[in-house]
């Protein structure tokens, strides 16, 4: 693997089952495959990179996630085309996922930026952007 490429990302979540249901179908649509699974976590892998979701301990659930606090703001994934962004938008809506910035969709990132923005069960912002 090339120096500097991301090896993995690990996210602690408030409800592992909800996160697995949400992220599983989305990541698999993008070509990720289930990688690891254990009582308090699950991961998906694409190439040499994997994304891990771990159940946060009860004692750390008192302060919910907010993307404006210090830490992760959002995760952005490449789409293969604008058509893939449109197809995914329909699938997200069909799964009851809230699309963000609907008044500007699919150009919420700017005039030449074609993407869909949405949130996971913990309200982590996710983006799928076309080249």
Q: Domain limits of the chain?
A: 1-54, 74-131
62-121 confidence digits (pLDDT tens): 998 999 998 999 999 999 999 999 999 999 999 999 999 999 999 999 999 999 999 999
Q: Choose among 55, 17, 48, 18: nearest CA to 33.
A: 48
Q: Return d(Cα 83, Cα 18) in angstroms, integer.
A: 27
Contact 85, 43 (CB under 8 A): no
- pTM summary value: 0.92
Q: Return d(Cα 50, Cα 48) in angstroms, integer.
A: 7
Ramachandran category for residue 71: left, alpha or beta (phi over 0 → left; psi -120 to 50 → alpha): left
- The answer to whether the 1-54 and 74-131 domains have the same CATH topology is yes
Say which CATH architecture domain 1-54 belongs to. Answer: Roll (3.10)
Residue 72: both structure tokens together:
């992760």
CATH superfamily of 74-131: 2,3-Dihydroxybiphenyl 1,2-Dioxygenase, domain 1 (3.10.180.10)
| Phi, psi (rounded to 5 degrees) for 129 | -120, 140
């Amino acid at each position: 693997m090339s120096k500097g490429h991301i090896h993995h990302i690990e996210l602690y979540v408030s409800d592992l089952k909800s996160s697995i249901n949400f992220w599983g179908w989305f990541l698999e649509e993008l070509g990720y495959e289930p990688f690891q699974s254990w009582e308090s976590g699950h991961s998906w892998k694409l190439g040499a990179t994997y994304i891990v979701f771990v159940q946060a301990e009860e004692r750390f659930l008192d302060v919910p996630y907010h993307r404006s606090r210090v830490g992760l703001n959002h995760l952005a994934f490449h789409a293969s085309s604008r058509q893939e962004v449109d197809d995914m938008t329909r699938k997200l809506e069909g799964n009851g996922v809230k699309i963000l910035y609907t008044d500007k969709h699919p150009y919420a990132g700017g005039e030449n930026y074609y993407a869909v923005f949405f949130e996971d069960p913990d309200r982590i912002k996710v983006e799928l952007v076309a080249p």
